[in-house]
Amino acid sequence: MARKEHIWVIDDDHSIRWVLEKALQRESMAVSVFDSGNAALAALERGSTPDAIVADIRMPGINGLELLARLREQVPDLPVIIMTAHSDLDSAVAAYQGGAFEYLPKPFDVDEAVALVRRACDLRRQQTASTDNGGPMPEIIGEAPAMQEVFRAIGRLSRSNITVLINGESGTGKELVARALHRHSPRAERPFIALNMAAIPRDLLESELFGHERGSFTGAQAARQGRFEQADGGTLFLDEIGDMPSELQTRLLRVLAEGEFYRVGGHSPIKVDVRVIAATHQDLEARVRQGAFREDLFHRLNVIRIHLPSLRKRREDIPLLMNHFLKSAARELEVEPKTLRPEVENFLMQLEWPGNVRQLENLCRWLTVMASGREIHLEDLPGELRQPQTQALGSNSEGAGDWRSALSDWAASSLARGDSEILNTALPEFERILIDVALKHSGGHRQDAARLLGWGRNTLTRKIKELHME
């Protein structure tokens, strides 16, 4: 028998508590009601944890926003729905900034309230499943004001199917935001399909987007659905949209305007219902002025824009992110998670991080493998971080020896601890780092990255899949 979801309703108004309790119980949910935030926190301290909370924003004693802040500290993944009066729109914004799952304006429709609670429970169940399976949970992390603006935008768009343009430097987490927009949208149960414009050769991109009919070109042995068809009813994320060839820009514009397209070699129109979320690290307005990007397509995509800050604009989030990635790398490699010394935290917060969050994540993987002790000291950091003014590794014999010495030290420490099969730990990380650097150097073009590595493109694609880098 499936476990009932447990919901807490917190409001000093007895009639609101009664209405929500009965409505949720009719949906086979277990409900506990509290007349104050303090009573709910006391229950939490006794060890009881619900699947979702519905709380009023104005209560005697601790109010809804203060309660939300306390809950975020104690149970950060717990979805909280804040109830507000229509006159409390400023409070609703504050609720989003505080990390609320959603806000429910009073007076509310009971069916709408129940549906909102159901969505919150679904999110909680997905989070629990991800954690139980040991898999990475692609949530966005950040407490900096600039990131709170991003969270608020995701919250505002949670009931919308509107087109969104995400811009920010490479490595800032644009796909994570796109996935969050999908996960909190009415399309959450439908597919999320991602395509990187910069990673697909120009001559294959049209077929990737729109599919092709059998025999439409050499090698087309069978008909194939494109990404638009695969995403029907859901969300299509077009990363690095600024790299889309001009001839495909025209076709994309037509799909956005009419909701239909033709496969390559096809004669019958195919209708789709797809929400498009696009992302770029480029200045699209500048590309429009240069004639490299269609102005009408830009305006179609730029309905709502979300800007992701670079890591150097949110330095206060670096310790939080490091802690998350170190734990994630430890789970991945099945070792004890490492911790940062305070002086290391302070040092890392001063760096520029040109690769943004992705660079930070790679560093955490490197440290999990290479740092010898449980605590990470300044001398455990890679030489290029500790001495950013020195020449790049490999530029001379002295620099080329730095990573070899570090690898030798790590191997000796691992064997001294009694570890075995150390190649199984080191080789995947070695390949992952080199692949990531080559892809950055080639602007995401796999053909060029494969050449830089001395592989064929198929070998690189296979390695990316094997190393779960997609």
Residue range 3-57, pLDDT digits in tens: 678 999 999 889 999 999 999 999 889 999 999 988 888 888 887 788 899 998 8
The lowest-confidence range among 64-73, 158-167, 358-367 is 64-73
Average pLDDT, the chain: 82
DSSP state of 193: E
The residue-averaged pLDDT of 125-129 equals 59
Q: Which of 64-73, 271-280, 439-448 has the highest mean pLDDT?
A: 271-280
State phi, psi for 97 to the nearest 5 degrees: -60, -30
Assigned architecture for domain 6-130: 3-Layer(aba) Sandwich (3.40)
pLDDT at 264 exceeding the cut of 70? yes
Q: What local confidence, expressed as pLDDT, does residue 398 receive?
A: 43
The residue-averaged pLDDT of 264-271 equals 84
H or E element, residue 181: helix 174-183
pLDDT at 137 exceeding the cut of 70? no
Residue 243 burial class via C-beta count within 10 angstroms: exposed 0-12, middle 13-18, buried 19 and up: buried
Which residues of the chain are in CATH 3.40.50.300 domains?
A: 148-307
97-114: pLDDT as tens digits = 566 777 787 888 888 889
Contact yes or no for 391/375 (Cβ under 8 A): no
411-451: pLDDT as tens digits = 776 676 667 778 877 888 888 889 988 888 777 788 888 88
Looking at domain 148-307, does it have CATH number 3.90.76.10?
Answer: no
Torsion sign, CA atoms 412, 416, 422, 427: negative
Tokens of 452: 């830089």
Q: What local confidence, expressed as pLDDT, does residue 234 receive?
A: 92
CA atoms of 173 and 317, how far apart (whole Å): 14
The lowest-confidence range among 130-139, 231-240, 256-265, 379-388 is 130-139
The lowest-confidence range among 23-27, 317-321, 373-377, 413-417 is 413-417
CA atoms of 185 and 62, how far apart (whole Å): 31
The lowest-confidence range among 13-27, 124-138, 248-262, 291-305 is 124-138
Residue 159 burial class via C-beta count within 10 angstroms: exposed 0-12, middle 13-18, buried 19 and up: middle
Q: What local confidence, expressed as pLDDT, does residue 409 receive?
A: 67
The length of the chain, given as a count of residues: 470
DSSP state of 311: G
CA atoms of 306 and 164, how far apart (whole Å): 7
Q: Which residues fall within 8 angstroms of residue 143, CB to CB, at 6 or more apart?
A: 316, 317, 320
The lowest-confidence range among 89-103, 191-205, 280-294 is 89-103
The lowest-confidence range among 152-156, 258-262, 411-415, 460-464 is 411-415
The residue-averaged pLDDT of 54-77 equals 83
Tokens of 458: 């198929």
The residue-averaged pLDDT of 376-391 equals 73
Which residues of the chain are in CATH 3.40.50.2300 domains?
A: 6-130
pLDDT at 365 exceeding the cut of 80? yes
pTM for this predicted structure: 0.55
Best CATH choice for the domain 311-386 from the list 1.10.8.60, 3.30.200.20, 1.10.3720.10, 1.10.1740.10 = 1.10.8.60
Contact yes or no for 369/333 (Cβ under 8 A): yes
Nearest one of 261, 173, 265, 167 to 222, comparing CA atoms: 265
- Confidence tier at 136 by pLDDT (50, 70, 90): very low
Give the long-range contacts of residues 155-158, CB within 8 A, separation 24 or more: 155/96, 155/100, 155/101, 155/102, 155/103, 155/184, 156/96, 157/181, 157/184, 157/185, 157/304, 158/102, 158/184, 158/185
- Confidence tier at 296 by pLDDT (50, 70, 90): very high
Nearest one of 251, 250, 254, 299 to 278, comparing CA atoms: 299
The lowest-confidence range among 94-108, 220-234, 380-394 is 380-394
How would you classify residue 185: left for phi > 0, otherwise alpha for psi between -120 and 50, otherwise beta?
beta
Best CATH choice for the domain 420-467 from the list 1.10.10.60, 3.30.2310.20, 3.30.200.20, 1.10.1040.10 = 1.10.10.60
The residue-averaged pLDDT of 260-277 equals 87
Q: What local confidence, expressed as pLDDT, does residue 27 receive?
A: 87
Which residues of the chain are in CATH 1.10.8.60 domains?
A: 311-386
391-411: pLDDT as tens digits = 333 344 444 445 776 777 677
Distance between terminal CA atoms of the chain? Answer: 37
CA atoms of 79 and 13, how far apart (whole Å): 22
* DSSP-assigned beta bridge partners for residue 118: none
Which residues of the chain are in CATH 1.10.10.60 domains?
A: 420-467
Higher per-residue confidence, 330 vs 48? 330
The residue-averaged pLDDT of 217-231 equals 76
- Confidence tier at 167 by pLDDT (50, 70, 90): very high
Contact yes or no for 226/207 (Cβ under 8 A): yes
- Confidence tier at 133 by pLDDT (50, 70, 90): very low
Q: What local confidence, expressed as pLDDT, does residue 33 receive?
A: 93
pLDDT at 160 exceeding the cut of 50? yes
Q: SS3 for 284?
A: helix
